[in-house]
Amino acid sequence: MTRIALAASAILLSAALAQAESYTAVGNTATSVTGDIAMDDYAIIFANGEKLVFSDLVAYELTVGGKKIEADVYKVAAPGDPVLLNGNRLCGSGDVTYVASWLGADDLTVIAVFATAEVPASDDRMCASYTYK
């Protein structure tokens, strides 16, 4: 990536961070795939400037590990599987159609992505999940 492209990505992420809540990647998966993110009710923006825009908040709960929990489930306006850090893709098994977030153990935020036609009701069909603080 050129210096200009890196600078532009940094500016875009900075602008997004000013409006959205920022999250620091935790663990190898989030660190190597998404990096730090910014997210609000309208979009999720990844460290390299790629983003997924949401069209609707479609659910307020999800079954995770067999237990029903509070979660925000967003429908992605234009499904895709963006190339993120190190050439990694967010899902790797199809276009992301839904993104869910919830408060996990130790007050860490979990972001799960789905490549399903229907609104996900549980984590059993997610294609990936990432953890942030």
For residue 133, give the amino acid letter. Answer: K
For the purposes of burial, counting CB atoms within 10 Å of the CB of 129, is it exposed (0-12), middle (13-18) or buried (19 or more)?
Answer: middle
Domain ranges of the chain: 3-132
DSSP 83: B
What is the per-residue pLDDT for 93? 81
Per-block mean pLDDT, blocks of 10 residues, the chain (133 long): 50 54 96 98 97 98 96 98 96 94 96 97 96 98
Q: What's the pTM? A: 0.85
Report d(CA 68, CA 61) in Å as an integer: 7
Residue 37 pairs in a beta bridge with 23
Q: How many CA atoms lie within 13 A of 121 on its CB side?
A: 1
What is the per-residue pLDDT for 130? 98
What is the per-residue pLDDT for 80? 96
